[in-house]
Structure 1
Amino acid sequence: MELKWMVILSTMALLLAAPVHGDEESEAKLIVKKVKGKKLCDQGWECKGFSEYCCNHTISDYFQTYQFENLFSKRNTPVAHAVGFWDYHSFITAAALYQPHGFGTTGEKLTGMKEVAAFLGHVGSKTSCGYGVATGGPLAWGLCYNKEMSPSQTYCDDDFKYTYPCTPGVSYHGRGALPIYWNYNYGKTGEALKVDLLNHPEYLENNATLAFQAAVWRWMTPVKKNLPSAHDVFVGNWKPTKNDTLAKRIPGFGTTMNALYGDQVCGKDDDESMNNMVSHYLYYLDLMGVGREEAGPHEVLNCSEQEAFDLSSARSSMSSSSSAS
């Protein structure tokens, strides 16, 4: 009997001593070196590969599991459509690939927190099944979906039959954290992530880390050459030209919507989809402890009066409606 208890206690000790993924960053050692006078850092798995951005806070330093749960508190309720799919581990694992490039690590801690809230504001609004009478309010239902439930078409565009030909029997309806539509967008995203999404778009609804990775890649990547990414317009890397200023495009959350969706939501006065994204962003800022007062004035927050970026030849990856449509 005594031996049995010793075995049990030893097993419990091993389990308690084992690090969980969410605490791995506390185990990582900050490694610093200087290259041509510039400070570069490596923080292990979450910010790996010497980068100036890795010298800043990593996302898990200021955004932890309980905050993720607060933001997406209804995603695993019985009426949700992707129960058990989305989780904090998957988000951080996907984000880790882009933190050395500045995702959530650009500038001071406050900038990083605001960028995560902005990115997730887009994600929450696009994957929500919350409505006006929803329990907990309409903003508590982000990450309710991981795919379009009742697609009206297969989203196959034969104009791309030589570059991104549609796979017979495959539908390219909305999937993911920032839902991807159309064969050419699955093809481009798959090339970037080195995953065969053109033949297997269903990978995005089967793997939460990949779904988040595709969304962060889109956030960090311009939809069209010579245009800024959503990341760049948010953190201030993008400097508006005279034409941008005349078009009322300025750095901030409003222009992230312009960079991703163009005239689908911008320059349309009181657009419902635009307002929904803004509402999610403000709600998440509050829940993360930043406070919506840090979001900036009206002209920074929305793009209702902005002239839209020309995304026509690039064909935006995301529909202006949520993946629930």
Structure 2
Amino acid sequence: MSRLRIIAALLAAACATVLAVVLPTSATAASCASAWNSGTVYTGGMTASYNSHNWLAQWWTQSDVPGTNSVWADQGTCGGGTNPPAGTCDYPAWAAGRNYVTGNIVRYTDGNLYIAEHDNPGYDPIISTWFWDPYNCNGGTTPPTNPPGNGGFVVSQAQFNQMFPGRNSFYTYEGLTAALSAYPGFATTGSDTVKKQEAAAFLANVNHETGGLVYIVEQNTANYPHYCDTSQSYGCPAGQSAYYGRGPIQLSWNFNYKAAGDALGINLLADPYQVERNSAVAWKTGLWYWNTQSGPGTMTPHNAMVNGRGFGETIRSINGSIECNGGNPAQVQSRIDSYNRFVQILGTTAGGNLGC
């Protein structure tokens, strides 16, 4: 053996000895986060431990028990369990029957990572189109943030934050993007300009309805008992005062909660409080109205934007003559001002027919 090879062998042996002393022989045990508390408000990114597992809140939540719905992502066992190598397998194991939302990353039994392309109730990743193509779990590859099946939302998180600098933490960007799969035609129809204009129009009206994404529920509690239409055969099972305005479009009335819930596959008639507890559900109700309801107008806001009828027609579909036709020009102008600001942030033009 040459002198160079002998030196290289000795150096390799020395390094191996040092590593054997310094590095642990097994993965570091995962410590438990603070115990989950039903009265604590958790926002996206916060952690809690429950039933010997750590859980990651994906958006705003309070009183939702970890493991019972998709707001909590299982981070694995704690208090004696092991952590997988950071950046490789550090994702929760897939579980059949557990609700997943768009963008969730799971570790499957084949050792690969899969990304939920649509909301789903725990479908098997390898036989379902609800999950995107896998990444090798042990190869150190980190999956991209947005599955390509989403097409990418035309509003980035940075732009969203710029639009709503003082928003309530309940209204998360993640909640919004998770809701997009419910109406895949939203902000994906037409030219890039039309896509951006529709996103800006929706968010401008949302901005007006919620005071800049500040209010989750209607502030005038005196109105709460008025939203139960007892002429409906299904009545108001959650109580006469349970159907007040909630969410980005301030969904109200028992018949609207039933219609939205039926369309979304969520029993909002029996439990309308989901709209103020779950960010993705709240955003879905806003998108339901935008994409399917004409309200006091002649078309849905979605159709108004993709068919070139202009921002003003979206105002008519939301509030009709209460604001339009001279009903309240100041409110109309407030919505237009927000829309102009948002299209500027998105780098596009406002188009015509802004008023109603």
Q: TM-score range by the shorter chain?
A: 0.5 to 0.7
Shift of 1:4: 3.6
Shift of 1:105: 0.8
Higher alpha-carbon deviation: 111-120 or 273-282: 273-282
In 2, the alpha carbon distance for the partners of 1:93 and 1:158 equals 31
Report SS of the residue matched to 2:23.
helix
In 2, the alpha carbon distance for the partners of 1:162 and 1:269 equals 34
Do the aligned residues in 2 keep the contact of 1:57 with 1:109 (CA within 8 Å)?
no
2:132 matched to 1:58? no
CA change 1:185–1:10 in 2 (3 A) is closer
| TM-score, normalised relative to structure 2 | 0.58
The 4+ residue runs of structure 1 with deviation greater than 6 A are 15-18, 21-24, 43-46
Shift of 1:233: 1.1
Higher alpha-carbon deviation: 270-279 or 4-13: 4-13
2:279 matched to 1:208? yes
Which structure has the higher relative contact order (CA within 8 Å, separation 6+)?
1
Match of 1:12 in 2: 86
Report SS of the residue matched to 2:182.
coil
Match of 2:181 in 1: 96
Match of 2:200 in 1: 117
Shift of 1:193: 1.7
Q: Which amino acid is the alignment partner of residue 149 of structure 1? A: Q
Deviations 1:204-245 (A, max 9, x none): 0001101100111110113369942110011107xxxxxxxx
In 2, the alpha carbon distance for the partners of 1:86 and 1:235 equals 25
In 2, the alpha carbon distance for the partners of 1:273 and 1:196 equals 33
CA change 1:124–1:227 in 2 (3 A) is same
Shift of 1:267: 0.5
More helix by percentage: 1
Report SS of the residue matched to 1:66.
helix
Shift of 1:269: 5.9
2:217 matched to 1:147? yes
Query: Which one of the candidate residues 61, 73, 95 is aligned to 2:165?
Result: 73
Do the aligned residues in 2 keep the contact of 1:56 with 1:106 (CA within 8 Å)?
no
Report SS of the residue matched to 2:88.
helix
Shift of 1:268: 1.4
Shift of 1:103: 0.8
Do the aligned residues in 1 keep the contact of 2:159 with 2:345 (CA within 8 Å)?
yes
Q: Which amino acid is the alignment partner of residue 272 of structure 1? A: A
Report SS of the residue matched to 1:121.
helix
Shift of 1:265: 1.3
Query: Which one of the candidate residues 171, 174, 177 is aligned to 1:86?
Result: 171
2:227 matched to 1:156? yes
Query: How do 1:116-195 residues align onto structure 2 when only pairs under 5 Å count?
Result: 116-128=199-211, 142-153=212-223, 154-165=225-236, 167-168=238-239, 170-195=241-266
Shift of 1:7: 5.3
2:296 matched to 1:296? no
CA RMSD of aligned residues (A): 3.4
Deviations 1:12-57 (A, max 9, x none): 3427999xx8799xx98x9xxxxxxxxxxxx9769xxxxxxxx998
Shift of 1:282: 1.1
2:315 matched to 1:253? no
In 2, the alpha carbon distance for the partners of 1:295 and 1:168 equals 43
Match of 1:317 in 2: none
Shift of 1:198: 1.8
Shift of 1:257: 1.0
Query: Which one of the candidate residues 279, 282, 288 is aligned to 2:337?
Result: 279
Q: Which amino acid is the alignment partner of residue 85 of structure 1? A: F
Gaps of 5+ in 2: 1-20, 29-82, 93-101, 106-113, 118-128, 133-147
Deviations 1:276-315 (A, max 9, x none): 211111111122222xxx1124xx0010xxxxxxxxxxxx
Match of 1:321 in 2: none
Gaps of 5+ in 1: 31-42, 47-54, 76-81, 129-141, 238-250, 304-325
More strand by percentage: 2
Aligned length: 237
Query: How do 1:209-248 residues align onto structure 2 when only pairs under 5 Å count?
Result: 209-223=280-294, 227-236=298-307
In 1, the alpha carbon distance for the partners of 2:327 and 2:229 equals 34
CA change 1:225–1:151 in 2 (3 A) is closer
Match of 2:324 in 1: 266
| TM-score, normalised relative to structure 1 | 0.63
CA change 1:195–1:164 in 2 (3 A) is farther
Shift of 1:143: 1.0
Shift of 1:192: 1.7
Do the aligned residues in 1 keep the contact of 2:228 with 2:240 (CA within 8 Å)?
no
Report SS of the residue matched to 2:187.
coil
